[in-house]
Amino acid sequence: MKQITQLGANVEEALHLALQKLGVTREQVDVEVLQEGKKGFLGFGAKPAEVRVTVKEEEPKEIEQNEVVQPVQNEPVETTELIEKKTVELVESEEEQESKQVEPVETQNNVSKMQEEDPVEKAKQYIFNIAKEMDIHDLKIHSEYEGKRLLFKLESEKAALLIGKHGATLNALQQLTQLVINNVAKTFISLTLDVENYRERRQSTLESLADRMADKAVRTGRKVAFEPMPSYERKIIHNALANRIDIETYSEGTEPNRYLVIEPLK
């Protein structure tokens, strides 16, 4: 039994991509929607749709002796661009999805062309498109590669707009660009976006905050909770307090509202 789990900007696109990889049509599979896509503002805060597609088992059909089998001709197809839309579209209702026919499977030439796309350039173009929607037209992107880690350094007169409050906009843009680049790359790439050394300044701020909050927890004898933050920022605080023996740190809640707690040890 062939089965595949696929991500996409919406359920329809995820299904389309899965059908391409399996080389089958909609009628030949069972589809289970694991997660419907979520639209965000200009793509920020969005979540991809996820489907599980299973190929149906078919019984072999005997061809009558006088039956003439006509060769199947490939129909013209349309290349699907992976998450290159400037905004993530609303997930269509299940009734609308069922009433729509899935587009024909792409030809091998188009699939090969898609696989040959440069993931770094595609990711850069995605960021440029988002920046234009934010009325940022002077953006420059410098890339640094180290193994499977890729760093994009962004420069603009509107750096504050790219960063957002406590880095919320920058974190959302990083998450979306991570999806874009790994839909094209042959191997996984860990992407980091930085704007005018914001990441370094943010780390220093979090480490200082961690010490102050830990001292507060010990002084009051009560737990201290931080505001929700991404996992790598929680990791910075965990590491900053790892050598203290008078407190312990742990995370609570679910993404994207997961937060860190400091608890004093008695």
89 or 33, which is more confident: 33
Architecture of domain 199-264: 2-Layer Sandwich (3.30)
Q: Lowest mean pLDDT: which of 27-36, 103-112, 131-140?
A: 103-112
Question: What pLDDT was estimated at residue 131?
Answer: 95
Q: Residue range 103-117: average pLDDT?
A: 51
pLDDT bracket for residue 130 (50, 70, 90): very high
Distance CA 57, CA 236 (A): 49
pLDDT bracket for residue 41 (50, 70, 90): low
Q: Residue range 188-204: average pLDDT?
A: 94
Question: What pLDDT was estimated at residue 7?
Answer: 84
Topology, domain 3-55: Defensin A-like (3.30.30)
Indicate the average pLDDT of the chain.
Answer: 80
Q: Lowest mean pLDDT: which of 41-55, 191-205, 206-220?
A: 41-55
Question: What pLDDT was estimated at residue 103?
Answer: 46
Where does 158-244 have alpha helices with state H?
159-163, 168-182, 198-220, 231-240
Where does CATH 3.30.30 sit in the chain?
A: 3-55
pLDDT bracket for residue 264 (50, 70, 90): very high
Residue 184 has a CB neighbour count (10 Å cut-off) of 20
Where does CATH 3.30.300.20 sit in the chain?
A: 119-196
Structure-token pair, residue 156? 């603009």
pLDDT in tens, 143-195: 998 888 999 999 999 999 999 988 999 999 999 999 999 999 999 999 999 99
Question: What pLDDT was estimated at residue 18?
Answer: 82
Q: Residue range 187-205: average pLDDT?
A: 94
Number of separate helices (H) and strands (E) present in the chain: 8, 9
Question: What pLDDT was estimated at residue 60?
Answer: 53
Task: Decide: 55 and 24 in contact? Cβ < 8 Å.
Answer: yes
pLDDT in tens, 47-104: 788 888 888 876 555 444 444 444 444 444 443 344 344 444 433 444 454 444 444 4
Q: Say if pTM beats, i.e. exceeds, 0.85.
A: no
Question: What pLDDT was estimated at residue 166?
Answer: 86
Question: What pLDDT was estimated at residue 169?
Answer: 94
Evaluated on CA atoms 193, 179, 41, 232, the torsion sign reads negative
Q: Which of 106, 114, 103 is nearest to 12 (CA)?
A: 103
Where does CATH 3.30.1370.50 sit in the chain?
A: 199-264
Architecture of domain 119-196: 2-Layer Sandwich (3.30)
